[in-house]
Homo-oligomer: A and B are copies of this chain.
């Protein structure tokens, strides 16, 4: 009763129930790892390890069976559900589920937005990233990004605009990324490989088998993963929202997507960008193939509907709620909101 009174008092103190201040009421929350496989290592010498200076040494026999290639998911199940299916949000390359949490400028991100709209929401760290863990058994070397790379590649400023000196960085006019939080954003980065897509997709398929039917929202690198998982599980992915997808799905499998409503969204300065222009055109061509197979795709260029200044990291831009609202309304239009 005390809990309920406190809640009622809190609600009363916020008569307008402004979304961003509304409490988040969960019937449950939790996390799990899913997918992966076991690999065996043989013939290595036994080591003695002091894990912490001053600690008691431990024998480590590196021979044996290892768990590799699993992924991580964290879920928040709302008390007052309005989304008709679970909403899964998949991050882009070199990042983790943190993408959708608090924005680098400290304001609420899309996780809290969609929870407050009544969606059971699953964030995940793809195989290899973040809490999924990683292994020395991947092929090739991991990629690490210097500060300036995403500034230009994610369209905060045009190519050549980065400068280590904050005062000398150029930007796109009216850009919505919170410039003072750029270094904070770069703290979210995690190493990535370029050889692991198949393992990532395999783990996502296991995630979908576990928690779907669902809506899948993907960003950037995960665009390709979303399409590929939908090809493999067209009965379980009931809608696909591809936010700034970087690579299409499998061209000869578009027929599998014909019953899945799809939205593709790009921000500002994509069409004419030397690299993003090509990426977007590849996606336009791919969307044409899906439509040709009888599918339904809405391709939205945000500036064309009056939402300007968005970078590749739409969910962190200052107007991220306005972008999320476009998605929420589209999902409602597909009958996925009660």
Contact = CB atoms under 8 A, between A and B. Distances in A.
A125 B129 CA distance: 13
B56 A143 contact: no
Closest 3 pairs between A and B when the two form their complex, measured CB to CB? A64-B146, A33-B187, A30-B102
A217 B76 CA distance: 24
A112 B50 contact: no
Interface stretch (A132-140, A234-242, A254-262, A298-306): A132-140
27 contacts: A7-B80, A23-B79, A24-B26, A24-B29, A30-B102, A30-B108, A49-B194, A51-B93, A52-B93, A52-B221, A52-B247, A53-B197, A54-B224, A54-B248, A56-B275, A56-B282, A58-B153, A58-B275, A61-B149, A64-B164, A65-B148, A66-B144, A66-B146, A72-B98, A125-B130, A134-B191, A136-B191
Contacts of A108: 30
Interface of A: 2-4, 6-8, 10-11, 23-34, 36, 38, 41, 49-56, 58, 60-67, 70, 72, 74, 79-80, 93, 96-98, 101-102, 106, 108, 112, 125, 130-131, 133-136, 142-149, 153, 164, 183-184, 186-192, 194, 197, 221, 224, 246-248, 275, 278-279, 282
